[in-house]
Structure 1
């Protein structure tokens, strides 16, 4: 787990809210405080969709692309939010690509989640990485590799940060 302080908050927020950069991440949780608090659990309700819609969708996860416009509408205006917390998870279907991109082999069945926690408060923005394992292990290879992947991902998108 690492904490990365984002240097250019305005640029990052534009990429987060008006760009497709994070669209393929699963939204686990979102909380935005403006004049009131807005909370999204990221829980998917299959009963909302028809069978055909579910088949077309292909996934029972809530993706950032499903919520991004709503988040933008909550934040849009002259004032910045009081605080914001967004928890993203790398889709489980992408764990193999993540593993291959690093050239590291690990048992994907042992990984419960690879997370990005985006936190904005007191006009500062941080991304905190996180991993969850299904087994107890002292081996921190997956944690370290996820941290490395996140830093490379941000750098490739011209998102500059300071590691804290």
Structure 2
């Protein structure tokens, strides 16, 4: 797990709300408190889809909507003259990325062993932070997946010109 802070809140907010930077990440949850409170649960609801559609989603490993399908709602909630008092977004690694990172980790784990590779983006008390995390369905002392995920997240942020520093 890594905890990071951003030198430019404007840059990260622009990428979050106005660009496609985060759109491919499944959004497990978003909570925004501004003039009202909004909580979004991005988990897919089986009953909404046809059996065929649901089978395709399951086969692809998706459990949550991509953030790009929810970004407009978040933009409308956060936009205004005042910054929100608080928000938290829980982004997950897409299934294909999980497989890729497992290959890099080389620890013998399979995609079905991984519950989530998460990025938690939180704004509170004027500070914007991102923490990484891994959740596995099996116990392992091996931390290679955590390390590969943390490295990937830092590369993703840097590649998208989102300047960050490590919190100590």
TM-score (norm 2): 0.87
1:9-158 correspondence runs (5 A): 9-49=9-49, 61-100=64-103, 103-106=104-107, 107-108=109-110, 109-158=112-161
Count of equivalent residues: 162
SS at match of 2:153: helix
- Say if 1:89 and 1:114, in contact at 8 Å, map to a contact too: yes
Which consecutive residues of structure 2, in runs of 5 or more, have no partner in the other structure?
none
Q: Which runs of 5+ in 1 are unaligned?
A: none
- Asked if 2 retains the 8 angstrom alpha-carbon contact of 1:46 and 1:60, the reply is no
Partner Cα separation in structure 1 for residue 126 and residue 17 of structure 2: 17
Aligned residues: CA RMSD:
2.1
Cα deviation code 1:9-66 (max 9, x no counterpart): 0110000111111111010010000011100111222433567876998755311011
d(CA) in 2 for partners of 1:20, 1:93? 18
User: Is the counterpart of residue 163 in structure 1 residue 161 in structure 2?
Assistant: no
Runs of 4+ in 1 over 3 A off after TM superposition: 46-60
